[in-house]
Structure 1
Amino acid sequence: MKIKLFIAASFLVFLWSCQSSGTDNQQEQTATDSLAQAADTELPSRMATTVLENPYIRVKEMTLSPGADQPLHEGGPRVVYSLTDYKMSWREGEGEPAEKSWSTGDVHWHDAGTHAVTNTGQSEAVFLVAMRTDEALPACDEEKALDNDVNKVSPDKAEVLFENEQVKVTKVTLEAGAEIPEHSGANRVIYALSDYRINFASDKEGTGEHSFEAGQAHWHEACTHSLSNTGSTTAVFLVIAFKN
């Protein structure tokens, strides 16, 4: 009789433990689902889209909705181009936050370090971030390339927006039918600010017709080249030339 009671009690304990374990697993799964849902909810207000990446560089388009923030995080040396007007609360490391405003077309540089940002304005903050990787750039006589770049041969079509020891950012505006004669170019990213079609002739890449849409980016290694706008729209693009 005692043996039967012991077996029955053991069976009841087993059933209770299984039910408890199932409840715990269900609670854990519910918590996991809630975290995943919360992460999905945050994505529209804090978004990073990679527009170009290769062994040498990464280019991302960042979008922060009003009130959205990026908590303290590490950032490498980078150049930033503003695609919209926006206002930010900016904090470096453990320092005090500071209000900063940027307008469309502004360019600024950040050295490596930790920082946090909050969009304190009333509109979306959209900006382009371009940074080097640890990979050495392809060989290039940068001094020669930058001394004879688009700014030298077509100053009426090019505007230097920013330059330091790491990068040179130029905005090029090429009307339909216009041309830029042969010139040098360092290792660079081209980012389209408008839709356009051009004919591109290069000593490394040959000659060809290419169409681009606003927001697209592509890479060119250092080369000698010329180009002409063969489309019906004005070609507007950024040249982000990197220095070793």
Structure 2
Amino acid sequence: MNNDPVTTNPDLYQVLFENDRVRVLEYRDEPGTQSVPHAHPDSVMITLSNFRRRLTAGDRQADVELQAGQARWLEAQTHSGHNTGATDTHVIFVELKEPAPGGDPAALGPAATP
């Protein structure tokens, strides 16, 4: 099964740029939108809108609320998302193509600001 978000959720994710080192995705949704499970490699997430969402991976959930203009590290992970807020979500992901040196199998959602 292909867990690429552009394949699993083509109405939500769009490739803006890609080369042999990175891929840049744009993500947009509306309140109430739910994505199907998909995988992200290690990425930098840049928020372009304020949003609230629930991320789910198996039996784990994380509620995330972020403001526009933030850059966050996103550890490689597989999840589905649900826009639980009252605003549209607009995010840019800069996905790294190089192999991760380990990683955290329990990662869910963006990392807290350092």
Q: TM-score, normalised by structure 2?
A: 0.79
Measured after TM superposition, the shift of residue 202 of structure 1 is 3.2
1:165 is aligned to 20
Spell out the pairing of 1:100-115 with structure 2 (5 A cutoff). Answer: none
Q: Distance in 1 between matches of 2:49 and 2:66?
A: 8
- 1:235 correspondence with 2:100: no
Tell me which structure has the larger Cα radius of gyration: 1
Structure 2: which 5+ runs fail to align? Answer: 99-114
User: Which residue of 152, 155, 161 corresponds with 2:10?
Assistant: 155
Identity %: 34
Show CA shifts across 1:17-72 (max 9, x none).
Answer: xxxxxxxxxxxxxxxxxxxxxxxxxxxxxxxxxxxxxxxxxxxxxxxxxxxxxxxx
Amino acid at match of 1:210: V
Q: TM-score, normalised by structure 1?
A: 0.38
Spell out the pairing of 1:115-154 with structure 2 (5 A cutoff). Answer: 148-154=3-9
* Larger helix fraction of residues: 1
Spell out the pairing of 1:77-226 with structure 2 (5 A cutoff). Answer: 148-202=3-57, 206-226=60-80
Amino acid at match of 1:237: V
Measured after TM superposition, the shift of residue 158 of structure 1 is 1.2
Equivalent residue of 1:219, what SS?
strand
Q: Distance in 2 between matches of 1:217 and 1:154?
A: 23
Q: Which runs of 4+ in 1 moved over 2 A?
A: none
**In 1, are the aligned partners of 2:12 and 2:28 still within 8 Å (CA)?**
yes
Q: Distance in 1 between matches of 2:40 and 2:70?
A: 19
Show CA shifts across 1:158-213 (max 9, x none).
Answer: 1100000110000000110001111111111111000100101236xx41111111
Amino acid at match of 1:227: G
Aligned-pair Cα RMSD in Å? 1.5
Greater RCO (Cα-Cα under 8 Å, separation 6 or more):
2
Equivalent residue of 1:181, what SS?
coil
Measured after TM superposition, the shift of residue 148 of structure 1 is 2.3
Amino acid at match of 1:219: W
Measured after TM superposition, the shift of residue 218 of structure 1 is 1.5
